Amino acid sequence: MRIIPAIDIIDGKCVRLSKGDYATKKIYNESPLEVAKQFEAHGITHLHLVDLDGAKASHIVNYKVLEKIASQTSLHIDFGGGLKSDDDLKIAFDSGANQITGGSIAVKNPETFKGWIQKYGADKIILGADALGEKIAISGWLEESDKELIPFVHGYQEEGIKYVICTDISKDGMLEGPSFELYKRLLSEVPEINLIASGGISTFDELPKLAELGCEGTIIGKAIYENRISLKQLEEFILK
């Protein structure tokens, strides 16, 4: 199982929110590059980079941060947050993203999103399936859609999607543990998908459980920043 730390960006700084609420913003580091280099120094190879300003503005904002991390580390970066147009995607890839994550766009403008899968290939495009009570949430989690999580994922699997980041919003940033039951059901109903678990990771012990369920990767945010899980522990997990 891949370990994928998250860096969320507001105003070019590394922050975390609770349940996606911008009012709960906590700044952890003024320099996302410094944080990324710490991850790399502990054997981490992947990074989930989220442009929270972009998510709010509905277009890419913090691409300079992406460019800096991509050019000064060897991390494999998946980038998301506010990617809505072909131009946004071009900027993200030109700035060094290896993959992009599309969430709201997959709900609001499925034809554009399907076009991206066809143009760039399923290895480059990740479906962001952020759920609240199993309904897909969009626009930086400020809106709930009428889409049910499992049929939504299944529908895009039929369009060729291979990678899905599933976040249970009720768990995100709360350090209360991930949605094991939700992931178990998702993997049993859409078995061929590469599921990346996100939201709520709070202790190191949860990682082997997610691996056992069959998650292909897991995104860890606040647990790292609040020193609930050390980079040393992650390094050992990766080496195993």
List, by residue number, the catalytic residues: 8, 130
Question: Which residues in 139-168 are b (16+ Cβ under 10 Å) and which e?
Answer: bbbeeebebebbebbeebbeeebbbbbbbb
Q: Are 210 and 182 in contact (CB under 8 A)?
A: no
Beta strands 135-138 and 217-220 are unpaired
Strand partners, 198: 167, 219
Task: Give the distance, in angstroms, between the CA of residue 163 and the centroid of all CA atoms in the same chain.
Answer: 11
3-state secondary structure (DSSP) of residue 166: strand
Q: How far is the C-alpha of 137 from the C-alpha of 134, rounded, in Å? A: 9
Which contacts of 140-146 are long-range, i.e. CB under 8 A and separated by 24 or more positions?
Answer: 140/20, 140/22, 140/52, 140/55, 140/56, 140/81, 140/82, 140/104, 141/19, 141/20, 141/169, 142/20, 145/107
